[in-house]
Amino acid sequence: MNASVAGLTLPALEPDHKLNRILSSALGRKPTATTIEIESPPWGADCFGLAYSPLFNESPLLEQQHILQLASDSLLAESYAIEKAGVGYMAKMTLLAETTEERMLYSLFGADETAHLAQLMPFVSHLNLNSQEDPFLRLLESLLEVADRSALMFVIQIVLEGWGLSHYRMLSKTCRDRALSKLFRSFVQAEAQHHGAGVVLFDTSRLSAASQGMIIETLATFLQMVQVGPQRVVAAIGQVKGGLTKAQRIRLFTELDTETHSDMRLKLLRSLITPVAPNIAEELARQGLFDPFPPAQCA
């Protein structure tokens, strides 16, 4: 079987496979349970901007819990997939390293991603981890296959791992399960090192026109996903409610204050891009990609 660099479709071994014992030993810990029970749902209405949504608050309590569980499961599944792809990314960057020290560093970063993945696995054992339907993960998988060293470094380490610092802090702060909150908080230091290394190593003077074009194209697609607001949250509500009308979707995006929250995220992304590659930031701004969409356009 030919696996992609991201490895998102790689299967897992059976829990009792002998290799798992060797893996646990290599990770420096005893074999643990394959499943960890966590607070259900682990993230509440505040995390998803639903605390002040009448459409959510007027729903029966069981529906509210189901919505929060679906939205929480989506966060967990995405985190698992990102860490899984991170193992492949660091392996590729180890091979593309240009100095001994850089190769050593990426090997160590690969160990970080492996540890994060192993720590997350017991928390996601109950989930359907099919990543093929997620547009962000498909974008990430495609990039890891075809991009060169410079494009990978800029998009993954400078932008996405910089974004990940804020994202993991938010997940930790708002998580109602103590063990899971502590786990996400422990990821932040490694993410900061990965991001910082990307900023140090990236050299705009060596960026080819083709690589710059790929960066702009990839980030344009990613920024559009941010512009359209919390689509997963709205999808979770629609799934529980049996569908939403266009008017209900507009109302929901309005209640979620989508323009304000998307604007905050887009400003963060712009602040990560601009100091390192101002010309790329200018081109993305010229295309209007740092401007959040109003509720009607999100719906």
Residue 26 falls within a domain, yes or no? no
How is 35-56 classified by DSSP, letter by letter? Answer: -----SSSB-TTTTT-TT-HHH
Q: 103: helix, coil or strand?
A: helix
N residues, the chain:
299
Q: How many structural domains does the chain have?
A: 1
Quickly state the pLDDT bin for 24 (edges 50, 70, 90): confident
* Residue 20 falls inside a structural domain: no
Does 135 reside within a domain? yes
Please report whether residue 27 resides in a domain.
Answer: no
With respect to residue 140, please indicate whether it lies within any of the assigned structural domains: yes
Q: Which of 35-49, 76-90, 93-107, 182-196 has the lowest mean pLDDT?
A: 35-49
pTM for the full model? Answer: 0.93
Q: What is the CATH number of the domain that holds 227?
A: 1.20.1260.10
Q: Give the domain extent around 275.
A: 51-298
One-letter identity of residue 267: K
Angle at 56 between CA 54 and CA 254, to 5 degrees: 60
Q: Are 228 and 297 in contact (CB under 8 A)?
A: yes
Is residue 46 assigned to a domain?
A: no
Place 9 in a pLDDT band, splitting at 50, 70 and 90: confident
Query: How far is residue 25 CA from its own chain's centroid?
Result: 28
Q: Is residue 205 part of a domain?
A: yes
Instruction: Please report whether residue 171 resides in a domain.
Output: yes
